[in-house]
Chains A and B, each alone.
Chain A
């Protein structure tokens, strides 16, 4: 039972991160029908920018409370990644809106490679230590020496992720911008006849996705205590899996898919390791996400909750 609760906690932490990233994929896909392959790398840029800001603030104001520093770093990183995402849209995707399907994907791969290389140049290729400013003291969830434990950083991450997702949900369903986004997703031509500027909506969508990715990046770095130029790749692919699992283009689907994938990974790895006496252990964690992805695409290609947007002819 302790193992189960422990793995559920691990899964929730992973899953809330996946969900935040998956939202970026799903929003862009919902509107443009393209996979933003560079989305995972926005997470990495967010974490590394956050790291640099933390260093800067720590140097300038050594007596500043940790939580405030983290907040400043998070906001700066989110803004930077929002801008970066807008730039990526402008440079790599806008000209390719009516190109064959593979074209934006390949240019996205190029952007991803470019971002990783530039990050390697700026922040070196070694993992950097990310200051963990939230308390890490273990919080006992179930009693006993083998009881499940968690810490404040993990709990904060889950809470913030849930809050942000709720906020995004309100934005899309209950504001003018949200309505414009849904209209452009439905049909950009008709939307522009209704006085909506589709380009503005698309750019804002990218910006929101970038900001969410940066948030996820900072959270990930805070939980694991390190950041490097390659950290965006696997979470990016997994978050894409989560988006597909929930039904791409569907906001609730991305949230559900993210949490589910996190749980599947954590529980699967935990129990597989136990069942095989540690022979197939956490080494195979990454295989789970891919197997889930293939299974979902084969059995239910439109995801658990379905693609919300009917396919455009």
Chain B
């Protein structure tokens, strides 16, 4: 066979594939928005937020094999940090701060994102340090407890000092503003009217791409291979001279940092945070995305995210009217059907496809 064709053909194909992929990412909101309206683009925005979370969790669960069931806590940390630094809440509660910042606290997104990543990573270390010696299933319960503790504190830290505003949550969080462009408003860019949800889509897509890139590079790095070694056999890994404690802590911190960034974006996008957004159910949703898609395999995780994030909307759009026309009323809330599907998906995935819908090829490792 001619050597040059075997070399160039896949490369040309790969280039074409990359081009189509880029085109798909750029056009996605326009196509979706045209077909179904802005609500669908909003769903896509949330799917991307979930994707960032799931990629973070994938580092902890997929690469390092540490089952974290309280991952939403890091999302919460990022979201609350943003809400505190970019809303009138703190200055309205503390006169000292109001004197320092008469305009109110409006920290720039350029500062908030790294801060959220750092703070969440700090919390990741805080959780990781005492739990390093624990076996997998104990770890799951402790992380679950950690997630609940964070939520309980956020719900109750409105006394004695009102820091989190308790169950009422913090409202009017500043939207993201990049280079003077406020993403919360419809903008006229290059002669096009671009609605807010589209702008956020591009921001989130860019962030998700950065995270994907970091994850891919990590996966093929020394650290990534070390994580897999720890996951497969901790004792053997430590006998090979790997510092398993530091590796696990690193996994917790890295995963948490991505979770924190995602949380910061969530708070700015939503403009409002409250403890109810960070319940255990959310942790389970993110875990389901990673497990169903394929633990430790980035394309699988992306697939899992898109499937499970689109699912409730699809169900709402299809099942509600279907029931309406069949029985004359909505008998079963689509929300409940989504929950049923999540539960079944977790069980069936473990029974029949333990490595997920799109598993990593083991030979590559």
Contact surface of A with B, Cβ cutoff 8 Å: 34-35, 91-92, 95-96, 99-107, 109-114, 116-118, 120-121, 233, 237, 240-241, 244, 279, 283-284, 286-287, 289-291, 293-294, 297-298, 301
Complex Cα spacing A119 to B154, Å:
29
From known contacts A107-B351, A240-B141, infer whether A297 and B343 are also in contact, taking CB-CB under 8 Å. no
Partner of A283, one of B141, B149, B156, B284: B156
- B91, chain A: closest CB distance, angstroms: 23
Complex Cα spacing A99 to B69, Å:
20
Complex Cα spacing A209 to B340, Å:
25
| B144 proximity list for chain A (CB < 8 A) | 237
Which of B17-25, B126-134, B242-250, B357-365 interfaces with chain A? Answer: B126-134
Partner of A92, one of B141, B149, B280, B347: B347
Complex Cα spacing A110 to B339, Å:
10
The answer to whether B81 has its CB under 8 Å from any CB of chain A is no
From known contacts A105-B140, A109-B346, A237-B144, infer whether A279 and B67 are also in contact, taking CB-CB under 8 Å. no
Complex Cα spacing A283 to B157, Å:
10
From known contacts A105-B67, A294-B131, infer whether A287 and B149 are also in contact, taking CB-CB under 8 Å. yes
Tally B residues with Cβ within 8 Å of A. 43
- A-B contacts counted at CB < 8 A amount to 120
- A94, chain B: closest CB distance, angstroms: 10
In contact, A294 and B343 (Cβ under 8 angstroms)? no
Most buried by A among B141, B153, B159: B141
Complex Cα spacing A114 to B343, Å:
5
Q: Across the A-B interface, give the 8 residue pairs with the lowest CB-CB distance, nearest first.
A: A110-B346, A290-B145, A114-B343, A113-B343, A110-B347, A107-B350, A117-B339, A283-B156
- A143, chain B: closest CB distance, angstroms: 34
In contact, B142 and A109 (Cβ under 8 angstroms)? no
- B28, chain A: closest CB distance, angstroms: 30
Q: Would you list which residues of chain B between 88 and 143 have a CB under 8 Å from chain A?
A: 130-131, 133-138, 140-142
The answer to whether B342 has its CB under 8 Å from any CB of chain A is yes
- A230, chain B: closest CB distance, angstroms: 10
From known contacts A294-B130, A301-B134, infer whether A110 and B354 are also in contact, taking CB-CB under 8 Å. no
